[in-house]
Amino acid sequence: MLTGDFNNTLVTYIQDENIEGANKTLMTELANILLKDKNDFVDMLNESGVEADLSMSNAQLIELFIDNTDNKELLIGASLLAQHHNQKSGFDGESEVSDDNVKSGVAVMNSYFNDVIPDEEYSYIAPFLIGPIIKGAQKILNKKLSNRDKQKVGAGYSALAERQMREQVALKRKLEAERKQRELEQKKAKAKLNTAIIIGSGVVLTIIVGAIIYVKRR
């Protein structure tokens, strides 16, 4: 997977007609948002007509999202959420959401999950993106149709997307745990050093006092 800015990565995959890579980029970003702003993720589901609440585990919310990717409103909400968390500053200094990238994200997910090849309905997408999305969607569909059990293949793609989201959540948790462990070790080392300095200072002070007493007694 490419690394770097979310939108640059998304657009690069689209221009390469790589819908699978573009969709994985979206799933990874949505998983990151779920970890950072669970409330936003839950709101996105609810506003799309999918009942969810904060008491649900991350795994449950991911499964709920994947199970409802045939819901066009959910795809729009998910793409909008990803863009909302990746706003860029415009010429006036105000943050703005990329309308083209919102629409492209919807087209990517609709192609990946629902085998929808964009047509004139998607003519509002930037010309430099719609062509690659159509070609990439055709490649995805042809790959699925090459297998006789189309339903099984479609389920496999959904399972892969769910696994990608779960893996991203697990990775972020692991990195956060490692960061906290490093901080704890640094605090312990600092405390140990401070203790050593205090003890050392006490020893030096004792020697000095002893020397002064010895001199006075003489």
Q: What are the residue ranges spanned by the domains of the chain?
A: 6-172
What pLDDT is recorded for position 152?
Answer: 59
* Backbone CA torsion sign across 45, 47, 51, 52: positive
pLDDT of residue 60: 94
Q: Under DSSP, is residue 117 helix (H, G, I), strand (E, B) or coil? A: coil
Q: Partners of 88 in the beta sheet? A: 96
Distance CA 49, CA 63 (A): 15
Mean pLDDT by 10 residues, the chain (218 residues): 77 94 95 94 96 94 94 95 84 72 92 84 70 88 70 72 87 81 78 64 54 55
R_g (Cα) of the chain, nearest Å: 27
Q: Which amino acid, one-letter code, is at 20?
A: E
Q: Compute φ and ψ for 158, nearest 5 degrees.
A: -65, -40
pLDDT of residue 87: 83
Burial class of residue 14 (count of CB atoms within 10 Å of its CB; 0-12, 13-18, 19+):
buried
Provide the pLDDT for residue 177: 78
pLDDT, residue 67, reads 93
Burial of 107 (0-12, 13-18, 19+ CB in 10 A): buried
Smallest Cα–Cα separation from 181: which of 193, 191, 173? 173
